[in-house]
Amino acid sequence: MKRTLIVGGLAALTLAAGGVALAQQAPQDPPRHARGDRDGDGRISKAEFVDGRVARLAAADANGDGTVSAEEMQAGREARRAQGADRMFARLDADGDGAITRAEFDASRAARAERRAERGERRGGRGMRPGGRRGPGMDRGPVVIAEARSRAEQGFARLDANGDGYVTAEERQAQRAERRERRSRPAPASE
List per-residue pLDDT tens for the chain, 191 residues long.
555 545 455 444 454 444 443 334 444 555 555 667 777 778 888 989 899 889 888 988 999 999 999 899 899 889 999 999 999 999 889 899 999 999 999 998 999 899 888 888 877 655 555 544 445 444 567 889 999 999 999 988 988 888 898 988 888 888 889 888 888 888 777 65
Rounded CA-CA distance 31/34 in Å is: 5
The domains of the chain are located at 2-26+43-125+138-166
Identify the three-state secondary structure at position 91: helix
Rounded CA-CA distance 109/106 in Å is: 5
Residue 136: C-alpha distances to residues 41, 126, 133 (Å): 29, 25, 10
Contact between 43 and 168 (Cβ < 8 Å): yes
Beta strands at 67-68 and 143-144: parallel, antiparallel or unpaired:
antiparallel
Is the sign of the CA dihedral 49, 53, 56, 58 positive or negative?
A: negative
DSSP category for residue 34: G
DSSP category for residue 23: -
The structure's pTM equals 0.54
